[in-house]
A and B are shown apart, each in its own frame.
Chain A
Amino acid sequence: MLKALYQQHRQGFRDYDNILTRNTVLVQGLCIAPVVVAATTLKNACLLGLAFAAITFVSVVLLSFLPKKTPFTLRAIAAVLLACGVFIPTALWVRDLFPGNIQQVGIFLPLLVTNSVLVGKTEESLLHLKKGKMLLKLITYILGFELVILFTGLVRELLAFNTVWGNPVTLPFTFSVMALPFGGFVLLGFLAAAVRRYREHLNKPGSGEEE
Chain B
Amino acid sequence: MDLIFSFLGQMFIYGLVAVFLENSLLSRAMGSSTAVWLMRDHRLLLPFGAVLTATILLSSIGAYFITPWVNQSVYSYELFPLAYSVIICLFYFIAILATIKVKQPCKQDLRLCIHRSALNSVVLGSVLLSTSYGLDLAGVIGFGLGSGIGYTLAVWMLRVAAPRLRSKAIPKSFRGFPAMLIYIGVLSLAVYGMIGHTVAL
Contacts and interface: CB of A to CB of B under 8 A. Distances in A.
Direct contact of A and B (CB under 8 A): yes
A163 interface: no
Contacts of A194: 173
A29 B128 contact: no
Interface string B26-55: 111111111010000000000000000000
Interface residues of B, number: 53
Given A81-B89, A88-B82, A185-B188, A197 B173 contact: yes
Given A33-B29, A107-B201, A185 B172 contact: no
A37 B78 contact: no
Choose among A79, A87, A116 the residue with the greatest number of B CB atoms under 10 Å from its CB.
A116
Interface residues of A, number: 54
B5 interface: no
**Chain B facing A: main interface SS:** helix
A196 B171 CA distance: 11
Contacts, number: 150
**Chain A facing B: main interface SS:** helix
B119 interface: yes
Contact of A182 (B81, B82, B188): B188
Contacts of B200: 106
Given A113-B81, A181-B185, A185-B182, A37 B29 contact: yes
A143 interface: no
Interface in A167-211: 177, 179-186, 188-190, 192-194, 196-197, 200
27 contacts: A27-B177, A29-B36, A31-B33, A32-B181, A33-B32, A37-B29, A73-B96, A73-B115, A77-B119, A84-B85, A107-B125, A110-B81, A110-B128, A111-B121, A113-B81, A120-B33, A180-B198, A181-B192, A182-B185, A182-B188, A185-B29, A185-B181, A186-B185, A189-B174, A192-B181, A200-B172, A200-B173
Interface of B: 26-34, 36, 75, 77-82, 85-86, 88-89, 92-93, 96, 115, 119-121, 123-125, 128-129, 132, 171-174, 177-182, 184-186, 188-189, 192, 198, 200-201
